[in-house]
């Protein structure tokens, strides 16, 4: 039997949801950081793990990150199936809904 990988699809959010998520993400601390290795497989796996526990995360690009901030946002969002809510400065805000979370931990629009 073949071991099939689950393919992640990208999340689409509208403008009203984007404004709401930006407000929620304003005070969040960065939970992942992209550094010298850029978007390495281990970093992407860690981001997926954090997105499984939380629906909204903030990622910080370190000064030594070789990727441009828009390029990094595109790579991370496509690898995780999350929507890019905002790229501001060296911070990326991502959202991916998780129906497996308890209702009190989910983000409701």
Q: Does some domain include residue 89?
A: yes
At which residue do the structure tokens 């070789």 appear?
Answer: 66
Residue 26 belongs to what domain range? 15-97
Question: Cβ distance 72 to 62 under 8 Å?
Answer: no
Question: Once rounded to an integer, what is the mean pLDDT over residues 45-62?
Answer: 95
Q: Does some domain include residue 4?
A: no
Q: Does some domain include residue 106?
A: no
Tell me if residue 6 falls in helix, strand or coil.
coil
Q: Is the pLDDT of residue 6 over 50?
A: no
Tell me if residue 86 falls in helix, strand or coil.
strand
Question: Once rounded to an integer, what is the mean pLDDT over residues 22-39?
Answer: 93
Closest CA to 62 of 34, 42, 93: 34
Predicted pLDDT of residue 47: 95
Q: Does some domain include residue 1?
A: no
Alpha-carbon distances of 70 from 41, 53, 75, 91, 108, rounded to whole Å = 18, 25, 9, 10, 27
Least confident of 8-12, 19-23, 67-71, 91-95: 8-12
Q: Does some domain include residue 33?
A: yes
Give residue-wise pLDDT tens across range 64-105. 999 999 999 999 999 999 999 999 999 999 999 999 999 999
Question: Cβ distance 55 to 107 under 8 Å?
Answer: yes
Predicted pLDDT of residue 10: 62
Q: Is the pLDDT of residue 3 over 70?
A: no
Question: Once rounded to an integer, what is the mean pLDDT over residues 22-31?
Answer: 96
Q: What is the CATH number of the domain that holds 55?
A: 3.30.110.60
Tell me the average pLDDT of the chain.
Answer: 90
Question: Cβ distance 51 to 82 under 8 Å?
Answer: yes
Predicted pLDDT of residue 4: 44
Q: Does some domain include residue 37?
A: yes
């Amino acid at each position: 039997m073949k071991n099939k990988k689950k393919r992640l699809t990208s999340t689409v959010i509208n403008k009203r949801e984007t404004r709401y998520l930006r407000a929620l993400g304003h005070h969040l601390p960065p939970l992942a950081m992209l550094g010298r290795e850029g978007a390495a497989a281990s970093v992407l796996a860690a981001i997926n793990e954090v997105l499984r526990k939380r629906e909204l995360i903030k990622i910080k690009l370190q000064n030594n990150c070789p990727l441009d901030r828009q390029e990094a946002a595109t790579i991370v969002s496509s690898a995780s199936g999350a929507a890019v809510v905002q790229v501001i400065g060296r911070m990326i805000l991502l959202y991916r809904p998780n129906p497996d979370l308890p209702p009190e931990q989910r983000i409701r629009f």
